[in-house]
Structure 1
Amino acid sequence: MITPCPAITPEDDAVPWTPPLRPSRRSLLAGAAGAAGAALLTGCSGGTSAEEDPAIPLERRMRESAVRDSERLLERYDATRAAHQALAERLAPLRAAVAAHAAALAPAAAGSPAPSPAAPSGAVGAAAPTASAEPVPPKPADALTALADAERKLSEARTIDLAGAPGELARLLASVAACGAVHAHLLTSNPGAAS
């Protein structure tokens, strides 16, 4: 049997309307980080690429993506070094660390060699720099700041990727992200203070 709805009387309507609660800044940031992580993992293209192929294990796809990111960062180091020869000595150990990150992140598969870093970290003129997505600023201080920004952005992206990474890869990404944050600091700190 269906019971009719009770009638609303004017006395029932005396409770004032209150607006719904707004989400906290923390919950908005967590949601944005989750959405960004999901977007990074799913990609934006309509076609099926190696990153989206379900036949390729998630860890391998994440490693290949991380290696490509490290190689793009190596290109930025090389372009900065080529544009500002006076910075070569300062950039050499940081670039070598990024090359080591690329090698450590490379997926190990039976029968296939690990990808090599974009260029050797040896002498200043050892490798021709690859074209970078962004031009190197003409002033050395601005070039260091731009490189620090690239390190910081990649460090933040890797921190977001931690949520979906398998155990060992998550630990490696955390370590590489922390190293990138240190690089960003070293690139913008006073070089003479530590020596």
Structure 2
Amino acid sequence: MPWTLPSRPSRRSLLAGAAGAAGAALLAGCSDDRPAVGETGIPLERRMREAAVRDSARLLERYDATAAAHPALAARLAPLRAAVAAHSAALALTPAGSPSPSASPSAGTGAAAPAASGEPVPPKPADALTALADAERSLSEARTIDLAGAPGELARLLASVAACGAVHAYLLTSTPGAAS
């Protein structure tokens, strides 16, 4: 009698297949709970935090340069600049709560500096505010993109800082005291 394939799989073969598939899925989802380390040997989270701190420092330089070029805007910029400085400090902290080795203690000292990347501050106050808003918006968008690769807690922090940057961009380009 020739051997023929059964019309349907046996219960035993279905259970074995399901167990194998579940085991493979579990193994594929396992991780060693260590941060990803690139070719540099520096954990991903630390590299991302250091880059975020550098970006915040450049934004602080833009705030300082704008306030120095347009002293009449200094009071309007002060609370926004303070928030950017607070973001920089929060990003500089490692998950354990100790400062990152690259965190600059001089960040946020209020000393006037040239605008980031050597860009001059526009001569008109309205244009200077627009340029600062563009810098906030650009950094907010970059941080939103970075969320995809960031570890959990850092992703939440980047999302909060990105949202705040978007609000700063709005506040910089809105007319103070105007009713909506």
Cα gap change, 1:100/1:151 in structure 2, threshold over 3 Å: closer, same or farther?
A: same
Q: Matched residue of 1:74: which SS?
A: helix
Match of 1:84 in 2: 70
The CA deviation at 1:117 is 5.5
After superposition, residues 49-64 of structure 1 pair within 5 angstroms as: 53-64=39-50
For 1:98, the aligned partner's letter is: V
Q: Partners of 1:88 and 1:164 in 2: how far apart? A: 36
Q: Partners of 1:113 and 1:55 in 2: how far apart? A: 16
Q: Partners of 2:80 and 2:132 in 1: how far apart? A: 11
Q: What TM-score does the superposition give when structure 2 sets the normalisation length?
A: 0.71
For 1:57, the aligned partner's letter is: P
Q: What TM-score does the superposition give when structure 1 sets the normalisation length?
A: 0.66
Cα gap change, 1:144/1:110 in structure 2, threshold over 3 Å: closer, same or farther?
A: closer
Q: Matched residue of 2:86: which SS?
A: helix
Q: Is the 8 A contact 1:99 1:117 kept in 2?
A: no
Match of 2:51 in 1: 65
Q: Is the 8 A contact 1:103 1:116 kept in 2?
A: no
Deviations 1:155-179 (A, max 9, x none): 0000000000000000000000000
Number of equivalenced pairs? 139
Cα gap change, 1:135/1:107 in structure 2, threshold over 3 Å: closer, same or farther?
A: same
Q: Matched residue of 1:62: which SS?
A: helix
The CA deviation at 1:55 is 1.0
RMSD (Å) for aligned C-alpha atoms: 2.2
Q: Matched residue of 2:132: which SS?
A: helix
Q: Is the 8 A contact 1:77 1:95 kept in 2?
A: yes
After superposition, residues 35-184 of structure 1 pair within 5 angstroms as: 53-108=39-94, 112=101, 114-116=103-105, 118-121=107-110, 127-133=111-117, 134-184=119-169
For 2:54, the aligned partner's letter is: R
After superposition, residues 17-36 of structure 1 pair within 5 angstroms as: none
Q: Is the 8 A contact 1:64 1:107 kept in 2?
A: no
For 2:107, the aligned partner's letter is: A
Q: Which is higher, the Rg of structure 1 or of structure 2?
A: 2
